Amino acid sequence: MYSLTDKKPFFVLAPMDDVTDTVFRQVIAGTAKPDLYFTEFVNVDRMQSPGREKVIPKLKYSDKETPIVAQLWGKTPENYYKTAKDIVAMGFDGVDINMGCPAKPITQNGCCAALINNRELAGQIIEAVRDAVGPDFPVSVKTRLGYNQVDLTWIEFLLKYKLNMLTIHGRTKAEMSKVPARWDLIGEVASLRDRISPETLIVGNGDVMSFEQGEQMSKQYGVDGIMIGRGVFHDPYVFSLHSPWGDMTKQQKIDLYTSHVKLFAKTWNNGERALHTLNKFCKVYIEGFPGAKDLREKLMGAETSDQLLEMLDEASEN
């Protein structure tokens, strides 16, 4: 399983739509590498439609971001089957099924977290993916603790499928991101795993903000892996034990953003991603030094990547 079983805990960069594209994953590979990457979630029904070309950029990756798992979502088992075949052909290291996204338009359509209440379809999807990839290719699920309430029968149901990996975001669907993640319950999931499917790797997810905290959570709650999402917004070096981020100078931060923008411009040179999608990264890098707020406002006004790079150059101290 991605050669992760020897390392405890292994660290995983969370899938974040419109954030963790190949560009940002390469930036993180260059600051402090996690042990496993996920793509953004990719809709299987669009993948098997004329809209396929629009979704394909989400599956772009380089050899710097490996091992890497492609995350899928959608409704139709047949499209999961076909897309899982595509994923194997594209050289991914595993395939993950999103059964946790709580966004209303998605759950109203019966997808992602809605599968918690539709076990028949959830089972059919897992089986379709398994059939497509064969017995030796890793299949995993990322989910939550329940729909409206905590429901560990959902977790038991999933564990019976002997998944290679199960990621638990320690909240229910109804809780969105509004309450602290329930790590005590993530610990219970690890115990259920020991009883039902000892080979399944359990990844805990929710509110981990540092490498040290991740190690502590793994020790305390018995999970194999730790997934970090929003922690990278506060520290792009979050996957290192001794993060240099707090001591980094304005110039070092500008340099990091500059390298991100250059890679963005080179990678998405056909307009696959709008320039404004960089603004959330601007907030990550351009902070923690005098004048950061004014500089951010200026940079967010850039209309082309060349203009943005020029502004970053002007703001440089050397």
Ligand X SMILES: Cc1cc2nc3c(=O)[nH]c(=O)nc-3n(C[C@H](O)[C@H](O)[C@H](O)COP(=O)(O)O)c2cc1C
Active site residues: 101
Stretch of 22-30, 130-138, 206-214, 295-303 contacting ligand X, by CB under 6 A: 206-214
| Size of interface with ligand X, in residues (CB under 6 A) | 21
Q: How far is the CB of 53 from ligand X (least distance, A)?
A: 19
How many CA atoms lie less than 13 Å away from 275 in the CB half-sphere? 13
Question: Which CB sits closer to ligand X, 121 or 209?
Answer: 209
Binding status of residue 273 toward ligand X by CB under 6 A = no
Q: How far is the CB of 102 from ligand X (least distance, A)?
A: 9
Residue from 26, 43, 83, 98 binding ligand X (CB under 6 A): 98
Q: Which two tokens stand for residue 221?
A: 């709650």
Q: How far is the CB of 223 from ligand X (least distance, A)?
A: 13
Residues 213-242 that bind ligand X (CB under 6 A): 228-231
Binding status of residue 169 toward ligand X by CB under 6 A = yes
Phi-psi label, residue 276: left if phi above 0, alpha if psi -120 to 50, beta otherwise: alpha
* Residue corresponding to tokens 């991914």: 92
Binding status of residue 19 toward ligand X by CB under 6 A = yes
Question: Which CB sits closer to ligand X, 17 or 287?
Answer: 17
Stretch of 9-17, 122-130, 212-220, 294-302 contacting ligand X, by CB under 6 A: 9-17
Binding status of residue 102 toward ligand X by CB under 6 A = no
Distance, in Å, from the CA atom of 214 to the CA atom of 147, rounded to the nearest integer, reads 25
Q: How far is the CB of 186 from ligand X (least distance, A)?
A: 12
Give 94's strand partners.
Answer: 69
Question: Which CB sits closer to ligand X, 16 or 309?
Answer: 16
Query: How far is residue 318 from each of residues 25, 51, 260, 312, measured CA to CA in Å?
Result: 28, 46, 19, 11
Distance, in Å, from the CA atom of 74 to the CA atom of 59, rounded to the nearest integer, reads 16
Q: How far is the CB of 209 from ligand X (least distance, A)?
A: 8
Binding status of residue 94 toward ligand X by CB under 6 A = no
Query: How far is residue 243 from each of residues 32, 33, 184, 235, measured CA to CA in Å?
Result: 8, 12, 27, 8
Residue from 21, 40, 65, 86 binding ligand X (CB under 6 A): 40
| Chain residues that interact with ligand X, rule: CB under 6 A | 14-17, 19, 40-41, 71, 98, 100-101, 142, 169, 205-208, 228-231
